A and B are shown apart, each in its own frame.
Chain A
Amino acid sequence: MSQEQTTAQEGQAAEAALALEYAIPPRQRFNPFKWARREPFGAFGLVLIGLVVFLSLAAPVLRTSPPNEFAVGPPLAGPNADNWFGTTARGKDVWSRVLFAGRISLKIGIATVLLGTLGGTLIALVSAYAGGAVDFAVGRIADMFISIPGILIALVLHSSISADLPDLPGLQRQELYLVIAISLFFMPGTYRIMRGTVLELREATYVEAAQVVGSSSFRIMWRHVAPNMFGLMIVITSISLPAAILTEATLSFLGLGVPIGGLDAVPSWGADLSGSSRRFFSVAPWLAIFPGLALAITVFGFNIFGDSLRDTLDPRLRGRI
């Protein structure tokens, strides 16, 4: 083997090593099992979420009675073979109520984060691109919203607009109120994060590079800016969802949420923990335990899933949201 050959080989090896170090890694196919092994908490959260979604959607076939039906069992019976979670003072089946209540939680939660995240992002885009006075005004309005605790905004909206809202298809008046009130919690925060991101992305070197090589602005938006925002939007959505569910329960608990009492009453974990049933908590603790436990498990599942989703999609955000 000659001297030159060795050097050539060494050179090739070094080049290969360099290439390995600086190469863009090939796009890996997302493997859910690998992800689950790396993020066991997140996977467990996903299992819990799946369970909650399944139980609420399949509620009618899971040995439930209509949630508002009286005298399904004897009044204030403890958990037993017929009524797994016991019964209320009027003999309503707690198991059925807990399962059906999951529906309203998920519905309001999802509608809220969609409106909050999309609305916040849209406002951020408009404000960042308009700049100047518009940007300034929107920023100060966001400051204002951030300096009123969310529950209090909901209180004000309850006494102002809630009675005048229309019934939308699939979304009752009170539900619409909840969605608007709760999404107002998340909009200012989303707006702030998104505005920062848009401004940052606009100045990014790769956007500049794309402009230099003559990419159209649509292509730049679609290929370079949007993908970086989608990840963030998914993260914000998954982090806000448990908070939205919790807020719905809190507002319903305070009597500002879904209609309680009467035939069109909507079973809700928060509402079932409030009002008249509170009188019986010290004699019938299952009334207090099961709705709260269901709420806690749901929020817990979304929390740990959202956390690991954030770490997977955008580790830089750890500690920021």
Chain B
Amino acid sequence: MTRYIVRRLVAVPFMLLGISFFLFMLLYIRPGSAAFAAIGSVGDADPRAFENFEKRFGLDRPWYVQYGDWLWGALQGDMGERLTPPHDDVMGDIIEVLPNTLEIGLLTIFISSVVGVSVGVLSAVRRNSILDYGFRGITIMGLSIPNFWLMILVIYLPALWWGWTPARQWVVFTDEPIYNLSLAIWPAMTLGLASSAGIARFTRTSMLEVLFSDYVRTARAKGLRDRRVIWGHVFRNSLIPVITLLGLQLGGVLGGVVIAEQLFTVPGLGRLALEGVTDQDYPVVLATIMVFAFVFIIVTLIVDILYTIVDPRIRY
């Protein structure tokens, strides 16, 4: 167990190194255009300005020097500065917006697991009832509705019907916690409902599998009450695969957060990344995506470790 955790932890920096190298090479295939885009947005594209720009940001150096420089900085928490004026410190920007993204992401995962697991359990326990069929219909629709469309409907339909729409002027949690939550709940709910559909379906299948297992029959045979059987035996065991699914859905949730931030105008990591892409500001793109990947790797690691705690039978 400890050996497994250590081995996984050792792999993390190597993964990040690989990802950073890969992203760096991809983004630096066209270094000229980056400078060009930035200069173009400042003023005229005079070749001397171009040269100066490349000198200022070290873009004229060979790629390995640039990568080494970036890596050395990144190890010390310095992600370089933005190519677009006013040349903010990228790390500063990330630290400013990261809490918002994490907040929405965590709320989403919370909502989707609570809703998904309860719907799945109800569906399985009352299988083939009207409730079950209703839930199954809703979940498969939930899987098919594009989340950005759902968000658009959430924003514009209330505006049309009641002249009211979810507020889109972001306030950080530390300033006004209650108001902040009332803002964050909308993107989290729309994203969470979409991913809860998958969790509900999975929970249902996995509950049903356990419901018909031998040890559940034994538990019933020895006279345990239904509630005891469901919660003590079935529920706990069927949660094991669901935890994996939660880990797998994380990528989708993080991708969804990018869209949610755009539509609900939340200053977050996803919007920063999109801004970087539009401005051809690759230090921003590189840094934001590295942070996303870092969060993803760490959460996946936590999920895998949780897995062994929930199910003591699993030994790595």
Contacts and interface: CB of A to CB of B under 8 A. Distances in A.
Contacts of A281: 152, 155-156
23 contacts: A41-B140, A146-B251, A148-B19, A149-B258, A149-B292, A150-B251, A155-B274, A155-B289, A156-B277, A156-B285, A156-B289, A159-B27, A161-B26, A164-B30, A246-B146, A273-B152, A281-B155, A282-B165, A295-B146, A296-B141, A299-B144, A299-B145, A300-B144
Contacts of B118: none
B301 to A, nearest CB: 10
Interface stretch (A3-11, A49-57, A208-216, A247-255): A247-255
Nearest to B298: A147
B15 A144 contact: yes
A156 B27 contact: yes
Interface in A141-200: 141, 143-144, 146-152, 155-161, 163-164
Nearest to B300: A147
Interface string B166-199: 0000000000000000000000000000000000
Contact of A144 (B19, B157, B202, B258): B19
Contacts of A160: 26-27, 29-30
Interface in A259-318: 270, 273, 278, 281-283, 285, 288-289, 292, 295-296, 299-300, 303-304, 307, 318
Interface residue SS majority, chain B = helix
A285 B156 contact: yes
Contact of A143 (B15, B205, B289): B15
Contacts of B205: 318-319
B153 interface: yes
B210 interface: no
A99 interface: no
B102 interface: no
Nearest to A157: B26
Contacts of A250: 146, 148, 259
Count chain B CB atoms within 10 A of each CB in A141, A149, A253, A318 and give the residue with the most: A149
Interface residues of B, number: 51
B218 interface: no
A242 interface: yes
A152 B277 CA distance: 10
A152 B22 CA distance: 13
A208 B37 CA distance: 60
A254 B33 contact: no
A63 interface: no
Contacts of A292: 146, 149, 152-153
Interface in B248-295: 251-252, 254-255, 258-259, 262, 273-274, 276-278, 280, 282, 285, 289, 292-293
A254 B280 CA distance: 15
Nearest to B281: A159
A161 B23 CA distance: 12
A289 to B, nearest CB: 8
B243 interface: no
A140 interface: yes
A308 to B, nearest CB: 11
A256 interface: yes
Contact of A296 (B145, B206, B277, B296): B145
B180 to A, nearest CB: 24
B241 interface: yes
A152 B33 contact: no
A295 B148 CA distance: 11
Given A285-B157, A296-B149, A148 B140 contact: no
A317 to B, nearest CB: 12
Contacts of B305: none
Which among A147, A160, A292 has the greatest number of chain B C-beta atoms within 10 A?
Answer: A147
Given A163-B30, A318-B205, A155 B285 contact: yes
Contacts of B206: 319
B15 A149 contact: no
Interface in A77-95: none
Contact of B255 (A141, A147, A152): A152
Given A150-B251, A155-B285, A295-B149, A254 B262 contact: yes
B306 interface: no
B152 A288 contact: yes
B241 A319 contact: yes
Contacts of A254: 258-259, 262, 274
A217 to B, nearest CB: 35
A148 B289 contact: yes
A159 B144 contact: no
Contacts of B29: 160-161, 164
B258 to A, nearest CB: 6
Contact of A152 (B165, B258, B280): B258
A114 B241 CA distance: 30
A101 to B, nearest CB: 13
Contacts of B278: 255
Contacts of A295: 146, 149
Contact of B146 (A143, A157, A296): A296
Contacts of B94: none
Interface in B128-157: 140-141, 143-146, 148-149, 152-153, 155-157
Contacts of A278: 152
A242 to B, nearest CB: 7
Nearest to A297: B144
Q: Which of A152, A161, A299 has the most CB of B within 10 A?
A: A152
A304 B140 CA distance: 8
A270 B263 CA distance: 13
